[in-house]
Amino acid sequence: MNCDGINLVKKSLAINQLQAFMCVVAFLLIVPRAVFADGPVIEMNNMPPPQIALFYPEGSISVGTKVTIKVIIPKRWHINANIAADEFLKPSTIEIAAKGLTFDAPLWPPALKEYSDALELENLIFKDTLQILISVKSISLGYDSTTTNVTFGYQACSNFICLAPNQVRATVGNKALGEEQDKSLLPSKKKSTEPLALLLLFAFLGGLVLNLMPCVLPVLSLKLFSLIKHSRESKKHLFALGLALTTGVLISFWVLAALIVIVRMGGGNAGWGMQFQSIGFIAFMVAILFTFATSLFGAFEVWLPSKTLTQMDKATHKDGIPGAFFTGILLVLLSTPCSAPFLGTAMGFAFGASIPLLFLFFTVAALGLSFPYILVSVFPKALKVFPKPGAWMQKLQKLMGLLLLGTAAWLLWIAFGVTGEKGMTSILILGISCGISGAILGKLAPPHKPFYREIIAAVMLIVVNVCLWLYVVEPRIHDDLTQKAKATEIQALDKEGWYRYSPELMKYFEAEGRTVFVDVTASWCLTCKANEAAVLARDTVDNLFEHYNVAKVKADWTTQNKDISDLLVLLGRSGVPVYAVFPRSNFENPIVLPEILTVDAIEGVLK
């Protein structure tokens, strides 16, 4: 065969191969359409536009009339919620306009959380049918509600792909105009009807009960330990110790009251236990507790409440009095994260009262907290139930150190809830560093050495730990808080079915005519955690909520949140825990439950 023949064969083969390839393509394009022509078609590259309808309720229109936009999303598809779970996703939006009418911000339904295999993240979505409510804000002369139109923006996704953002428009579907006055989100501020004398008694009893808070017990044990060591001394000296502790408690309460006044004058809302909303405060307390514990283990001696013979005591000849004073301060710092029984009612009134009344209530609560120590100081015979001071106290002292470390562990647990694992680890490193610094101080400047060595060593070690906080711990915590805030912002519903509190969400449930149970809580509140474990986590309570169609809303006050602070004020409380039921038939008048929650209390309100 000559060259021309060979080339002709090659061309023929190439043409045959191209024809075969085209046949295959045609087969792949045509056959599936023929086979599935009469069956369901799953659109893999497009979603039919959602159906959208716009309605006014019947009646005349007025300010507060709610416009309802109903959106029906095709099956097997969903759209992103009004809050995007990631920066590359587009949230749903809605715009509304009408001649002579202006409108408030839309009230969106709670979003659903659903894990997307395609996106590899937990997305916030709407699917099936949703209703958006928009209230009329103002009305001008010559208005025409029949010109009302909406533009709904959305990004559709399936389990396989996400499409480009799109829009759909609709006009009013019902010429009938509406009248449905908008109700306020929350009730007006609750005013106490209790007599002032009874509220002051509640403040005293609440302060007394604070001594039983688990975070206070280690410090309480330390003070009793100190009193036992001095039990054989004069009544005058014991009374002086009790007076020093009471002074420390009083001054601390007055400082807190002053801070509350400053916050109020600045236009903010202060609350009981507000210092625990600062991660810097928690880190500071962890550092202090690690330092105190190191001292109790015998590593060093310095002006600490657990030691009665320190350099300062020797210099002033006031054995143990500075220590008692600082114990009073520590009692206040650790006793205020939770609202105790009686205290919530009293302080709820005090936080909204005049400045003199606020200081009066804080003084009475301080006396309640100090009362057990005053009693023991005035009646020292009560200490005779304990053995005489001896070698056994050395072992007890180390046990007290372990209890303080237990309190530090509780604070680290709070830090974990606020910042996450990295932030907690950073604070733990700071605490360990402070403990090691105490041990170094004990080696460099023991009691028999000149006092200036102690001052110089202490200042140097403090500078080292402050630098550790400023340049290592605090920046890491800031990054963790930023990431967690972003994650929390998009979390509308947690795995236990609790909605994240927002005023807009409450308005939505009110408009929907649904009863709402609100849990105002914080990760640093032990009473809150006890109620959650003993009551709210029970199946009985979940069944009650399901039976009465109650929406569960959690207001997390772990860090400062103005909306939740406003909620506390309007509920007549100043700290957590607070539990309230907003009945669907009387949403404007929520029912506040006791701080110590029970199943019977919840059931009684829902019935």
Q: Indicate the pTM of the whole model.
A: 0.56
188 or 228, which is more confident: 228
Q: At residue 321, does pLDDT exceed 50?
A: yes
15 or 236, which is more confident: 236
Give the pLDDT confidence score for residue 44 in this predicted structure.
42
Can you read off the two tokens belonging to residue 273? 């236990």
Beta-carbon contacts of residue 420 (< 8 Å; ≥ 6 apart):
480, 483, 484
Grouping H, G, I as helix, E, B as strand and the rest as coil, residue 494 is: coil
Give the pLDDT confidence score for residue 519 in this predicted structure.
96
- What percent of the chain has a predicted confidence (pLDDT) above 90? 19
Give the pLDDT confidence score for residue 184 in this predicted structure.
38
268-288 pLDDT per residue, tens: 666 666 777 788 888 988 998
Q: At residue 40, does pLDDT exceed 90?
A: no
9 or 323, which is more confident: 323
Q: At residue 553, does pLDDT exceed 90?
A: yes
> DSSP of 75-136, one letter per residue?
TT-EEE-SS-SSTTSPPPEEEEEEEEEEE---BPPPPEEEEETTTTEEEEEE-SEEEEEEEE
Tell me phi and psi for residue 388, to 5 degrees.
-65, 150
Cα 427 from Cα 284, distance rounded (Å): 9
Can you read off the two tokens belonging to residue 319? 């054995």
- Residue 233 carries which DSSP code? S
Give the pLDDT confidence score for residue 227 in this predicted structure.
65
233-245 pLDDT per residue, tens: 677 877 888 888 8
Cα-Cα-Cα-Cα dihedral sign, residues 384, 389, 395, 399: positive
- Closest by CA position to 573, among listed 177, 182, 273, 210: 273
Cα 83 from Cα 113, distance rounded (Å): 11
Expressed in angstroms, the distance from the first to the final Cα of the chain is: 101
As a whole number, mean pLDDT of residues 306-333 equals 60
Give the pLDDT confidence score for residue 518 in this predicted structure.
96
Tell me phi and psi for residue 231, to 5 degrees.
-65, -25
